[in-house]
Protein backbone atom coordinates (compact mmCIF):
# COMPACT_ATOMS: atom_id res chain seq x y z
CA UNK A 1 0.00 0.00 0.00
CA UNK A 2 1.18 3.52 -0.66
CA UNK A 3 0.01 6.77 0.89
CA UNK A 4 0.22 9.76 -1.44
CA UNK A 5 -1.27 13.18 -2.00
CA UNK A 6 -4.77 13.38 -3.46
CA UNK A 7 -4.98 14.21 -7.17
CA UNK A 8 -8.12 15.48 -8.89
CA UNK A 9 -8.80 12.21 -10.80
CA UNK A 10 -9.05 10.47 -7.37
CA UNK A 11 -12.26 12.35 -6.57
CA UNK A 12 -14.54 9.66 -8.07
CA UNK A 13 -13.13 6.93 -5.80
CA UNK A 14 -13.03 9.25 -2.78
CA UNK A 15 -16.73 10.02 -3.28
CA UNK A 16 -17.57 6.33 -3.67
CA UNK A 17 -15.83 5.54 -0.38
CA UNK A 18 -17.29 8.59 1.38
CA UNK A 19 -20.85 7.84 0.21
CA UNK A 20 -20.62 4.20 1.29
CA UNK A 21 -19.09 5.14 4.66
CA UNK A 22 -21.32 7.99 5.86
CA UNK A 23 -25.07 8.53 6.07
CA UNK A 24 -24.47 12.24 5.50
CA UNK A 25 -21.51 12.44 3.08
CA UNK A 26 -19.99 15.81 2.22
CA UNK A 27 -21.27 17.10 -1.14
CA UNK A 28 -18.56 16.72 -3.83
CA UNK A 29 -18.28 20.48 -4.27
CA UNK A 30 -17.45 20.96 -0.58
CA UNK A 31 -14.67 18.37 -0.71
CA UNK A 32 -13.16 20.11 -3.73
CA UNK A 33 -13.55 23.50 -2.02
CA UNK A 34 -11.81 22.23 1.13
CA UNK A 35 -8.99 20.88 -1.05
CA UNK A 36 -8.69 24.15 -2.97
CA UNK A 37 -8.50 26.03 0.34
CA UNK A 38 -5.30 24.15 1.07
CA UNK A 39 -6.39 21.33 3.35
CA UNK A 40 -4.22 18.24 3.62
CA UNK A 41 -5.69 15.49 1.51
CA UNK A 42 -4.05 12.06 1.35
CA UNK A 43 -5.17 8.83 -0.24
CA UNK A 44 -4.16 5.23 0.38
CA UNK A 45 -3.65 3.25 -2.80
CA UNK A 46 -3.63 -0.49 -3.08
CA UNK A 47 -4.23 -2.90 -5.97
CA UNK A 48 -3.91 0.14 -8.25
CA UNK A 49 -6.97 1.70 -6.63
CA UNK A 50 -7.72 4.34 -4.00
CA UNK A 51 -8.93 2.43 -0.91
CA UNK A 52 -9.04 5.19 1.70
CA UNK A 53 -8.50 8.88 2.30
CA UNK A 54 -7.97 11.46 5.03
CA UNK A 55 -8.65 15.20 4.93
CA UNK A 56 -7.17 17.46 7.59
CA UNK A 57 -6.07 21.01 8.20
CA UNK A 58 -4.49 23.28 10.76
CA UNK A 59 -6.83 25.52 12.75
CA UNK A 60 -5.80 28.44 14.90
CA UNK A 61 -2.17 27.93 13.75
CA UNK A 62 -1.39 25.28 16.33
CA UNK A 63 -4.30 22.83 16.31
CA UNK A 64 -4.62 20.04 13.77
CA UNK A 65 -8.11 18.98 12.80
CA UNK A 66 -9.09 15.74 11.08
CA UNK A 67 -12.04 16.64 8.86
CA UNK A 68 -12.79 13.28 7.31
CA UNK A 69 -11.36 9.78 7.18
CA UNK A 70 -12.79 6.69 5.53
CA UNK A 71 -11.62 3.36 4.20
CA UNK A 72 -13.30 1.19 1.57
CA UNK A 73 -15.26 -1.51 3.44
CA UNK A 74 -13.35 -4.30 1.64
CA UNK A 75 -10.03 -2.96 2.97
CA UNK A 76 -10.91 -2.30 6.60
CA UNK A 77 -9.09 -3.85 9.58
CA UNK A 78 -5.86 -3.94 7.58
CA UNK A 79 -4.38 -0.79 9.19
CA UNK A 80 -5.16 1.47 6.22
CA UNK A 81 -6.94 3.95 8.51
CA UNK A 82 -4.12 3.83 11.07
CA UNK A 83 -1.50 4.51 8.40
CA UNK A 84 -3.46 7.46 7.03
CA UNK A 85 -3.72 9.00 10.52
CA UNK A 86 -0.01 8.34 11.20
CA UNK A 87 0.93 10.02 7.94
CA UNK A 88 -1.22 13.06 8.76
CA UNK A 89 0.37 13.21 12.24
CA UNK A 90 3.83 13.28 10.61
CA UNK A 91 2.75 16.23 8.50
CA UNK A 92 1.33 18.01 11.56
CA UNK A 93 4.62 17.40 13.38
CA UNK A 94 6.59 18.93 10.50
CA UNK A 95 4.37 22.01 10.89
CA UNK A 96 5.08 22.05 14.65
CA UNK A 97 1.47 21.18 15.39
CA UNK A 98 1.25 18.85 18.35
CA UNK A 99 -2.45 18.93 19.28
CA UNK A 100 -5.01 17.19 17.09
CA UNK A 101 -8.75 17.31 17.40
CA UNK A 102 -11.72 15.68 15.65
CA UNK A 103 -15.43 15.19 16.08
CA UNK A 104 -17.15 11.84 15.71
CA UNK A 105 -20.75 10.73 16.06
CA UNK A 106 -21.56 9.37 19.51
CA UNK A 107 -23.10 6.33 17.84
CA UNK A 108 -20.02 5.59 15.74
CA UNK A 109 -18.61 3.17 18.29
CA UNK A 110 -16.18 1.58 15.80
CA UNK A 111 -14.54 4.90 14.92
CA UNK A 112 -14.40 5.92 18.60
CA UNK A 113 -12.58 2.68 19.40
CA UNK A 114 -10.32 3.13 16.36
CA UNK A 115 -9.27 6.60 17.51
CA UNK A 116 -8.84 5.49 21.13
CA UNK A 117 -6.48 2.75 19.90
CA UNK A 118 -4.46 5.51 18.21
CA UNK A 119 -4.15 7.43 21.46
CA UNK A 120 -7.02 9.91 21.09
CA UNK A 121 -9.00 10.70 24.24
CA UNK A 122 -12.69 11.56 24.44
CA UNK A 123 -12.79 15.05 25.91
CA UNK A 124 -16.22 16.59 25.47
CA UNK A 125 -19.70 16.00 24.04
CA UNK A 126 -21.43 18.46 21.70
CA UNK A 127 -25.21 18.17 21.83
CA UNK A 128 -27.15 18.17 18.56
CA UNK A 129 -23.96 18.65 16.62
CA UNK A 130 -25.13 16.84 13.49
CA UNK A 131 -28.07 17.82 11.29
CA UNK A 132 -30.10 14.80 12.41
CA UNK A 133 -29.64 15.83 16.06
CA UNK A 134 -27.01 13.27 17.03
CA UNK A 135 -24.37 14.38 19.52
CA UNK A 136 -20.66 14.51 18.69
CA UNK A 137 -17.73 13.42 20.81
CA UNK A 138 -14.65 15.62 20.62
CA UNK A 139 -11.52 13.50 20.64
CA UNK A 140 -8.02 14.89 21.12
CA UNK A 141 -4.47 13.69 20.93
CA UNK A 142 -1.32 15.55 21.91
CA UNK A 143 2.10 14.26 21.01
Ligand X SMILES: CC(C)(COP(=O)(O)OP(=O)(O)OC[C@H]1O[C@@H](n2cnc3c(N)ncnc32)[C@H](O)[C@@H]1OP(=O)(O)O)[C@@H](O)C(=O)NCCC(=O)NCCS
Nearest to ligand X of 7, 79 (CB atom): 79
Please state whether beta strands 99-105 and 63-71 pair in parallel, antiparallel, or not at all (unpaired): parallel
- Asked if 137 is part of the footprint of ligand X (rule: CB under 6 A), the reply reads no
Regarding 55 and contact with ligand X (CB under 6 A), the answer is no
In the stretch 57-86, what mask flags binding to ligand X with x, by CB under 6 A? -----------xxxx----xxxxxxx----
CB atoms near residue 58 (< 10 Å): 18
Helix/strand number for the chain, H first, E second: 4, 7
CA distance 102 to 124: 11
Question: Which residue among 46, 91, 108, 140 contacts ligand X (CB under 6 A)?
Answer: 108
- Residues engaged in binding ligand X (CB under 6 A): 21, 68-71, 76-82, 104, 108, 110-111, 113-114, 117
Amino acid sequence: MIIREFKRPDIKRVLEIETAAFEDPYPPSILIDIYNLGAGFLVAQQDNMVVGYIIFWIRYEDEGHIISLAVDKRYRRKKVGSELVDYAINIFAKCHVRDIKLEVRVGNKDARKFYRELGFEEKEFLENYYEDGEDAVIMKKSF
